[in-house]
Chain A
């Protein structure tokens, strides 16, 4: 168990030496807080001519938009330019998607997978799910993030922090202070207010479980969850359901506290109708757990070249620039200029909670079992 003082990237890869740590911190900060001086010309890595007419399937978790957003327009533009037809396959929550990818390793359901995160990564690498490919476009990604998967099986595509979000208006209307620590959630005034995701199927759910393990230690987290259960925590299968269906602000649901991302508040400003200047939701910084998501070419794809071209595009500046306002995460491409609203309202905790990746790997399924027994049993 690593306490919260570990710098940014260590939860994800091999233990880093001290000088490297500093580089990592700087590089990741650059990726996160955004380089202000990126040039706007999109990168062109592949010769598009020979791939015209191919279809590639992008397998993604179900909160990845399949149509009608600027993210999809960017994908369409890629399609127009290269002649590659991109189809998006929604494969459930991250946990389900990864399990399915493991079961179909070598004969995949699509060509490129988007969105496996650092808490689930080792499961997929062990099962040999990906075809190693180092995209030339990945040069713009801080080396420290790329180091997480040194074999080049996957490429880091976004970084986010999984944090508790609260509905500011709800707490004002009900004259309750929003919680500021994980401990607060156990008190009477927050009874029946929180909705979380099942860590077995959802990556933010697993991240939040790891946040509690980082906070309370391997011996203390079970008591914490037992108390949380007694205080009326609600569990749903995935993020989309928790945020868009159960959360008071975004989903008109009954729960004003939800496990989401540190970058969810800017999304609420940007999509506010009517427009607004301040975020309607807040973030409990002490609950944040760092999460890096990856994309990779699936081993056994029928369209390896087109799949690689798509992966190049996914890490290109053009596409990465769409991430903050569509998936509410930080792009990994350091050349991307972050939108002002995003910079202003996104919470990037200085010391996110972390758990040693080896420890996650050894204990993930035992922890999930234990959690299931305590919270759902």
Chain B
């Protein structure tokens, strides 16, 4: 089951096919390939991270922060809302996971696609969608936050648990039923225990995402409902307390490491006892009961996802007196009063987001592709680099942005005003996904073909150029699409790095939605609609390119890509 679970890490390459000694590239070539990603990681990830730790461990801030009541209030809220979000998402996701795994019905693929689409949307868009759909009394606060987290992460449960369910031996359940067990007993004593590892895995992912939730909370939260991430941002950028904010990032890291460590070890303890079967044939629902169960579950799931998105678009057309296209018509004007403007220009933000995404994509693809080549070329010793490029995935975007902000503030490394700093931050978040996408293809191509080329007399370098490099372009298209989607929606790091007057779309959306004026709100919803559409286009590109190259390498990649789309700040 493990093998088919969408996940962030690559299955171990088959060692035989890994780059064997005959095709090994010259050492200096490998060093040259690895140099760019290594420098990139050290300068933009390791150094800021070290600066952050250094600031956090300054004694003044450490004591002040750890003895402040608000710190623990925030930590407590972060924890319980993450637990509650995870539990609710699991509850809401199990029925659709079952239906999708076991039944064949019209619209099944559409439903899965829809859930995945929501999952890849930027966090501010999902926050905006919930803001649009909820009644005014529930607009901001814990109900809105939990609802957003459930809608957002439903896809994780449906896909991860669904895949496990597909592979569950149906005859086992059948046998239990034949022996007289009621369907609830079968569920309780047979099915759920077998699904347990998958449920734990899905739960861990959802927990990780909701514990570090930032964009959703910035849109939907109040001062009393701040996660540690939001409090880090507030302390650092609103109150100017850098040291305290650094301590909070440390608190978050420690708590997160403890919880994930516990989850991993408990998962290991409850290792599965059954060999999984190949996918059982999905059957159309037969009895009336099955039909209504499938219909209701699929219908409800689709509704939960579609209604907020519909409301998002609808709200962009709402003026003070009913329907109005004013928000779209006057998208470039954010006047509160004649002469007094909000200081953000939505059109400008749109253009800037596209530029930023273009540069971030370029940076991420170049760095990621070089890293993937170097990792593939070095076999075992490439693992260190492999682990290194994956690190940013385990670090929250807020931590990355905050670290960069407080590191690059002293000449000659004062890069705060440099146009490339925001794209570099985005690229850092995207590089792991570029590497994973590229590496999987590299590993499937390189081994034997390079050997064959070598046998035919090509030098290793020539063999690589002839065999490996041409195979790169398709995964790089996929990777570029992913990086674009990530950059367009990136909010956590950007919240720290963007400068007044050069806001990106997510920043502009958050500022507009934070205002009470009808026109400003409608403009925020209009921008969120644009951002949602742009992201979905980028992901469709990924999906199309990914499907073709998935076909090439025996259908294994398509699913993995869907699992890896999700990146970024949560």
Q: Give the docked Cα–Cα distance between A153 and B344 (Å).
A: 29
**A99, CB-defined interface residue at 8 Å:** yes
| Residues on the B chain within 8 Å of A102, using CB | 240
Taking a contact as CB atoms under 8 Å apart, the answer to whether B68 and A369 are in contact is yes
Query: Chain A's nearest CB lies how many Å from the CB of B27?
Result: 41
Q: Give the docked Cα–Cα distance between A306 and B238 (Å).
A: 29
Taking a contact as CB atoms under 8 Å apart, the answer to whether B416 and A99 are in contact is no
**B234, CB-defined interface residue at 8 Å:** yes
Q: Give the docked Cα–Cα distance between A355 and B516 (Å).
A: 32
Taking a contact as CB atoms under 8 Å apart, the answer to whether B417 and A107 are in contact is yes
In-complex Cβ contact of B516 among A67, A96, A198, A253 (8 A): A253
Taking a contact as CB atoms under 8 Å apart, the answer to whether A66 and B339 are in contact is yes
Who on chain A is nearest to B511 by CB?
A: A92
Q: Give the docked Cα–Cα distance between A206 and B339 (Å).
A: 25
| Residues on the A chain within 8 Å of B500, using CB | 59, 89-92, 100, 109
Chain B 510-539 residues near chain A, CB threshold 8 A:
514-517
Chain B 235-250 residues near chain A, CB threshold 8 A:
236-242
In-complex Cβ contact of B338 among A68, A96, A237 (8 A): A68
Please give the number of chain A residues whose Cβ is less than 8 angstroms from any Cβ of chain B in the complex. 47
**A182, CB-defined interface residue at 8 Å:** no
| Residues on the A chain within 8 Å of B516, using CB | 236, 241, 245-246, 253
Query: Chain B's nearest CB lies how many Å from the CB of A277?
Result: 23
Chain A 224-265 residues near chain B, CB threshold 8 A:
236-237, 240-241, 244-246, 253
Taking a contact as CB atoms under 8 Å apart, the answer to whether A96 and B223 are in contact is no
Taking a contact as CB atoms under 8 Å apart, the answer to whether A376 and B224 are in contact is yes
| Residues on the A chain within 8 Å of B239, using CB | 95, 99, 200, 365, 368
Who on chain A is nearest to B502 by CB?
A: A109
Q: Give the docked Cα–Cα distance between A127 and B237 (Å).
A: 14
Q: Give the docked Cα–Cα distance between A289 and B239 (Å).
A: 21
Taking a contact as CB atoms under 8 Å apart, the answer to whether B223 and A66 are in contact is no
Taking a contact as CB atoms under 8 Å apart, the answer to whether A103 and B405 are in contact is yes
**B10, CB-defined interface residue at 8 Å:** no
With A90-B343, A365-B239: A377-B515 Cβ-Cβ less than 8 Å: no
Q: Give the docked Cα–Cα distance between A66 and B343 (Å).
A: 9
In-complex Cβ contact of A107 among B237, B337, B414, B517 (8 A): B414
| Residues on the A chain within 8 Å of B416, using CB | 103-104, 107
| Residues on the A chain within 8 Å of B341, using CB | 62, 66-67, 90
**B222, CB-defined interface residue at 8 Å:** yes
| Residues on the B chain within 8 Å of A376, using CB | 222-224
Q: Give the docked Cα–Cα distance between A376 and B234 (Å).
A: 14
**A372, CB-defined interface residue at 8 Å:** yes
Taking a contact as CB atoms under 8 Å apart, the answer to whether A365 and B241 are in contact is yes
Chain A 69-110 residues near chain B, CB threshold 8 A:
69, 72, 89-92, 95-96, 98-100, 102-107, 109
Query: Chain B's nearest CB lies how many Å from the CB of A103?
Result: 6
Q: Give the docked Cα–Cα distance between A122 and B501 (Å).
A: 25
With A92-B500, A107-B416, A372-B70: A244-B237 Cβ-Cβ less than 8 Å: no
Taking a contact as CB atoms under 8 Å apart, the answer to whether B514 and A127 are in contact is no
**B336, CB-defined interface residue at 8 Å:** yes
Who on chain A is nearest to B517 by CB?
A: A245
| Residues on the A chain within 8 Å of B517, using CB | 245
Query: Chain A's nearest CB lies how many Å from the CB of B398?
Result: 14
Binary interface encoding of chain B residues 156-194 relative to chain A, with 1 for a CB under 8 A from any of its CBs, else 0: 000000000000000000000000000000000000000
Q: Give the docked Cα–Cα distance between A96 and B501 (Å).
A: 14
| Residues on the B chain within 8 Å of A372, using CB | 70, 223
Who on chain B is nearest to A69 by CB?
A: B339
Taking a contact as CB atoms under 8 Å apart, the answer to whether A96 and B339 are in contact is no
**B342, CB-defined interface residue at 8 Å:** yes
With A89-B500, A99-B237: A66-B340 Cβ-Cβ less than 8 Å: yes
In-complex Cβ contact of A109 among B337, B344, B409, B501 (8 A): B501
**B465, CB-defined interface residue at 8 Å:** no
Taking a contact as CB atoms under 8 Å apart, the answer to whether B237 and A68 are in contact is no
Who on chain B is nearest to A246 by CB?
A: B516
Taking a contact as CB atoms under 8 Å apart, the answer to whether A98 and B240 are in contact is yes
Q: Give the docked Cα–Cα distance between A63 and B337 (Å).
A: 10
Query: Chain A's nearest CB lies how many Å from the CB of B499?
Result: 5
| Residues on the B chain within 8 Å of A375, using CB | 223
Q: Give the docked Cα–Cα distance between A95 and B343 (Å).
A: 15
With A68-B338, A241-B515, A377-B224: A99-B240 Cβ-Cβ less than 8 Å: yes
Who on chain A is nearest to B341 by CB?
A: A66
**A201, CB-defined interface residue at 8 Å:** yes
Q: Give the docked Cα–Cα distance between A47 and B329 (Å).
A: 45
| Residues on the B chain within 8 Å of A245, using CB | 336, 515-517
Taking a contact as CB atoms under 8 Å apart, the answer to whether A373 and B343 are in contact is no
With A96-B238, A107-B417, A109-B499: A68-B339 Cβ-Cβ less than 8 Å: yes
Chain B 399-441 residues near chain A, CB threshold 8 A:
405, 409-411, 414, 416-417
With A90-B500, A245-B517: A62-B343 Cβ-Cβ less than 8 Å: yes
Q: Give the docked Cα–Cα distance between A62 and B337 (Å).
A: 11
Q: Give the docked Cα–Cα distance between A68 and B343 (Å).
A: 15
Who on chain B is nearest to A65 by CB?
A: B339
**B286, CB-defined interface residue at 8 Å:** no
Q: Give the docked Cα–Cα distance between A215 and B501 (Å).
A: 39
Who on chain B is nearest to A91 by CB?
A: B500
Query: Chain A's nearest CB lies how many Å from the CB of B112?
Result: 40
**A54, CB-defined interface residue at 8 Å:** no
With A240-B336, A369-B68: A91-B343 Cβ-Cβ less than 8 Å: yes
Binary interface encoding of chain A residues 99-131 relative to chain B, with 1 for a CB under 8 A from any of its CBs, else 0: 110111111010000000000000100010000
| Residues on the A chain within 8 Å of B409, using CB | 103, 105-107
Q: Give the docked Cα–Cα distance between A134 and B242 (Å).
A: 30
Who on chain A is nearest to B516 by CB?
A: A245
**B69, CB-defined interface residue at 8 Å:** yes
- Would you list the 5 A-B pairs with minimal beta carbon distance, nearest first? A90-B343, A376-B223, A65-B339, A68-B339, A377-B224
Q: A67-B341, A201-B238 are in contact. List 10 more A-B contacts (CB 8 A).
A: A90-B341, A95-B239, A99-B239, A100-B500, A106-B410, A237-B514, A372-B223, A377-B73, A377-B223, A377-B224
Interface pairs (22), CB distance under 8 Å? A65-B340, A67-B339, A68-B338, A69-B338, A69-B339, A72-B339, A89-B500, A90-B501, A92-B343, A95-B239, A103-B236, A103-B237, A103-B405, A103-B416, A106-B414, A109-B500, A109-B501, A200-B239, A241-B516, A245-B336, A245-B516, A377-B73
